[in-house]
Amino acid sequence: MLLVAKPVLGNAEKIALAEVIDSEWITQGDRVKAFERAFAERHGIGDAVAVSSCTAGLHLAMLALGIGPGDEVLVPSLTFVATANSALYAGATPVFVDIEGIDAPLMSLADAAAKCTTRTKALILVHYAGYLADLAAWRSFAERRGLLLVEDAAHAAGLVQNRHQSDAAVYSFYGNKNMTTAEGGMVAARDPGVLETIRLMRGHGMTATAQQRLTARAPAYDVTVLGYNYRMDELRAAIGLVQLERLAVWNERRARLARSYRSLLAARCPAVSVPFAEAWTSAHHILPIVLPEWADRQHVMERLRGDGIQTTVHYPPVHRLTLYRDRVPAGSLPITEAFAARELTLPLHPEMDEGQVETVVGALASALG
């Protein structure tokens, strides 16, 4: 089966893991610190905090920025459910915003403006599929309304352009991402004080880590805030350091494969569209396409699976999931719903080659007749 996503793991990761095991220190320690420094440097930021997942990072960002009960947070419905969940975790209410269009499925500035109320405190911007939203425009939008701007940058690892505009940005290292630590995430923030609060909260609010207590003359600690067990361990950080070294090469490989897809789809499947302009800045996390209105998506997916090609959908709209339909009814988001009904995600990962892209497009053309 040619998979939609596939982690690239090998001997270098095995060696890094063995070194951690031989060190006999496997929980948060020096490798986590080294991974934080390396990730921050690679993304052009001063500092970053490693956490157990992107979801945990979003939760901590909400809390550290002071978002809580009574607040509303603008979020896209075209995203993984964790984006909206993070607002609920903090006691706030997610307010779902439509996308700009079928060809640019990013959160709509116009609809966001229409959804603002006196309770709106923040917005979470998602770089869908790895395509960078217009951060300058959103920064201006947020400042005019006194809102906090948070990036769900789960799809955007490796993009250095998305810095210094938002109040916080959170990345994912889940197994299907551009770089992986199996589970894990990273948080950046404009305000060093906010970042230090996140660093404190990720480890139960304790003023000293286990490693610091081990080396201290008096192994005592205090708890100054309500914290959580959202730490990253040394094993994941060791993998992350290896993966980070190859991220730029992998992202360029993804970009070349995406260009091949666009060219072949235009030639062989002209009724299929690929969102975003080719020149759009992107980490090319996934390859979404939009099927023609007359196509039966389930039939197409079954035909491709029969040819040994996995496909999936990114995403079922969050506002139509049972939890949110019952808890925070959003009404209709017509563009999101239209896009989600026709979107299909094709395989894209660095271990693919152009011949496999041709195979996928050929099978898609056949499935569409």
Give the active site residues.
Answer: 177
Q: Which residues pair with 185 in a beta bridge?
A: 51, 172
Helix (H), strand (E) counts: the chain = 13, 11
Please answer whether residues 242 and 16 qualify as being in contact, where contact means their C-beta atoms are separated by less than 8 angstroms: yes
Q: Identify the sign of the CA torsion 358, 361, 366, 367.
A: positive
Q: How far apart are CA 184 and CA 232, in angstroms?
A: 7
Q: Identify the sign of the CA torsion 75, 79, 84, 86.
A: negative
Please answer whether residues 116 and 74 qualify as being in contact, where contact means their C-beta atoms are separated by less than 8 angstroms: yes
The CA-atom distances, in angstroms, between 51 and each of 44, 242, 319 are 19, 17, 27
Say which amino acid occupies 344. Answer: L
Closest CA to 277 of 125, 131, 165, 65: 131
Classify strands 72-76 and 99-101 as parallel, antiparallel or unpaired.
unpaired
CA Rg value for the chain: 21
Please tell me what DSSP assigns to residue 319: G
Instruction: Write the burial class of residue 219 (CB in 10 Å: 0-12 exposed, 13-18 middle, 19+ buried).
Output: exposed
Please answer whether residues 154 and 219 qualify as being in contact, where contact means their C-beta atoms are separated by less than 8 angstroms: no
Question: Per the structure block, which two tokens stand in for 252?
Answer: 């360029």
Q: How far apart are CA 84 and CA 133, in angstroms?
A: 18
